[in-house]
Amino acid sequence: MSASREKKSRQEQIASGYVDPKVARTAEEKAKARRSNMLYAVLAIIFVGVAAIAIISNSHVTERNAKAYTVNGETFTAADVNYYYHNAYNSFVSQNSGQVSYYFDTSKDLREQDCSFADGTWFDYFAQQAFHTMDQISALAQKAKAEGFEAKDAEEVALATDYSYIDSYAAMQGYTRAQYLKGVFGSTMTTKVFERNVRLVALAEAYRNAYMDSLTYSDAEIQDAYDADPTAYQSVDIEFTVFTYTAEADATDEQKAALLDETKETAQTALDRNAGGEAFDALAEELGGTYYHQSHASRSVYSEMLNWAFDDARSSGDTTVVPYGSNGYYAVIFHSRTINDYHPVSVRHILVDTEEIANSVLEQYLAGEQTEEAFGALAAQYSSDGNAASGGLYEDIALGQMVEPFETWCFDGSRQSGDTGIVETEYGYHVMYFVSTNPLEYWKVDAQNDLRSADYSEWIEALTEGIESEELSGMKYVG
């Protein structure tokens, strides 16, 4: 491919919302290390959920340019703060879809509604989240600029990705880009303000990633991390069946308690009959339970069942009955606990609805250059998965992380870089591209990420410790 064609190809890919594979790979690699102190708003804007937009005729110049917040001398206008405030708000609404009315009335001023789990009003709650994000982003960006660090490519990719989503949703609902931005971020938002803050966030994120890239660890340090908490880097092989009850709407507490006791007895019956030689999965079907077998269950999710499974006292064949919340019981069989010494894999995929479309997309790929970059561009164009913008990339996949057919294809021992195929799962059809197998065992990858996360937390805390910030009168135009 000539240099001019390559440049044109990159421009077309960015224009369609495709993120350069190198940038995407870096971002995905850091994702697992972002367990604390992560930038709340970084490249995670919520663009959906705008059902109706009031087209506002006046320009709101006064409100938009009013000074609302400063961080170490850097001034943010009300429009700037609205970018972070509405992102915090929209994220909360998206994450609590269907339950928002339990927290506050979206039709009323949040300044007049007390927050149920924090001091102050709901406006105060989202404003404080915005301030926290702005403090970190501003501190990182200021340090990056002071050191002459630039991230122009990352900024362009961030803008192209965000605009690809905005333009798609705006078109579906009959709005212009500018109108949709106002619907998402408030009446003070303009494309200029939006782009300024997207670039600032992208610079901060790129600088943070560069710092995390600089963190390396010796084999001894990785081993020390493992020795300090071995079960964090192990998994268990367990079978379990969930038994639940359904009570009538007018059932009394006593009746519900009796039904709960019945599920416990059924769970124990399943274990007793399995000990007598009956198949556990068949018993689940007969007794009305739901059967699961997890050969690589991690300790990452808290539950009484996993606490029991990861106990050092466990031996192969141990069984137990433990509560499934307040609505039933688990019947559990323990088989083994092992270190995660397998090698994780990285793949790209394109999720589509039908086999016909999957075959068509794969044929399009095979008729082209057959590179990872070309596959990523197709993923950005066709995939309905949430990672389409990063070229459909899943990096360092762990066993047990994906649904079985997807995982089986990924961890086929014969798999080579560049392999393609089509896999059907409950979510649709996946056009697959195998990227690579990590030379490190998964427990080492996981331990390195934990070490990076801890070191980053310490670093960002020191960086933001002396921040001088101030709310200004323009905050009355936020929200």
The answer to whether 238 touches 332, Cβ cutoff 8 Å, is: yes
Grade residue 50 by pLDDT with cuts at 50, 70 and 90. low
- Whether the predicted pLDDT of 350 surpasses 50: yes
CA distances from 413 to 67, 111, 393, 417, 437 (A): 59, 58, 20, 12, 10
Between 31 and 469, whose confidence is greater?
A: 469
- What is the predicted pLDDT for the residue at 31? 37
Report the alpha-carbon distance of residue 307 to residue 196 in Å, rounded: 47
Across the range 97-103, mean pLDDT stands at 88
Report the alpha-carbon distance of residue 233 to residue 238 in Å, rounded: 16
For 224, phi and psi rounded to 5 degrees? -60, -40
Residue 348: partners with Cβ closer than 8 Å, 6 or more residues away? 372, 375, 376, 379, 391, 392, 393, 394, 432, 433, 435
pTM here? 0.75
Q: Residue 326: which of 264, 277, 383 has the closest Cα?
A: 264
User: How many helices and strands in the chain, by DSSP H and E?
Assistant: 17, 11
What burial letters (b/e) apply to 31-65, b meaning 16+ CB within 10 Å?
ebbbeebbbbbbbebbbeebeebeeeeeebeebbb
Longest dimension (CA), the chain: 78
Task: Give the least confident one: 162-176, 246-260, 418-432, 448-462.
Answer: 162-176
Report the alpha-carbon distance of residue 397 to residue 24 in Å, rounded: 15
Residue 212: partners with Cβ closer than 8 Å, 6 or more residues away? 30, 33, 452, 456
Across the range 207-234, mean pLDDT stands at 96
Q: What is the pLDDT of residues 103-138, one digit of tens each?
A: 999 999 999 999 998 999 999 999 999 999 999 999
What is the residue whose two structure tokens read 């400063």? 70
Between 355 and 26, whose confidence is greater?
A: 355
Helices of type H across 230-333: 253-275, 280-287, 304-309
- Edge-to-edge strand list for the sheet holding 328-339: 290-297, 234-244, 328-339, 319-323
Average per-residue pLDDT for the chain = 87
- What is the predicted pLDDT for the residue at 58? 54
For 126, phi and psi rounded to 5 degrees? -70, -30
Q: What is the pLDDT of residues 87-97, one digit of tens each?
A: 999 889 888 87
For residue 395, what are its two tokens?
A: 């990096």
Task: Give the least confident one: 44-58, 111-125, 452-466.
Answer: 44-58
Grade residue 16 by pLDDT with cuts at 50, 70 and 90. very low
Residue 93: partners with Cβ closer than 8 Å, 6 or more residues away? 46, 49, 100, 106
